[in-house]
Structure 1
Amino acid sequence: MGFVLKKLAIFPTIILLILISLGAAPANKVTLHTVDDASGKPINQARAIMDNALQEMDKSGRYQDIVFFIHGRGKHPAKGMKIMPKFAQKYDLRVIMFHWPSWTGVTNRPVSHAQAAALQLKQLLNQLVTFKEQRQAWLDEHQIRFTLFLHSMGNIVMQEYLLTHHLAGALPSNLIDNVIFNAADVPVKNHQIWMENIDFTERTYVTINRSDIILAGSKAIDLIHGKFSGRRLGHAKSKKLTPDNITRNVSYVDLSQVSGNQHRYYLKSKDSDVNYFFATIFHGKEAQLTPEQGVYPISRKKVNGRSIASTPESKKQKSTKPVQDIYEFRR
Structure 2
Amino acid sequence: MSALALVQYTLGELAAALQLPFRGDAALVFRAIAPLLTAQEDELSFLQDAKYLPLLSQTHAGALIISSTYVEQYSGPAIWTDNPYASFARAMQLLYPEVAAAPWRSPDARIAADAQVDPSARIEDFVQIGAGAKIHAGVWLESGVVIGPGVEIGANSHLYPGVKILAGSILGEQCIIHSNAVIGADGFGFAQTGVGYEKIPQVGRVILGTGVEIGANTCIDRGALADTIIGAGVKIDNLVQIGHNVEIGADTVIAGQTGIAGSTKIGRRCRIGGQVGFAGHITIADGTMIAGQSAITHDIRQAGVYSGVIPAQEVRRWRRTVAQLNRLDGILRRLRGTTGNTSDSSST
TM over 0.5: no
Higher relative contact order (CA 8 A, sep 6+): 1
Greater fraction of residues in helix: 1
Greater fraction of residues in strand: 2
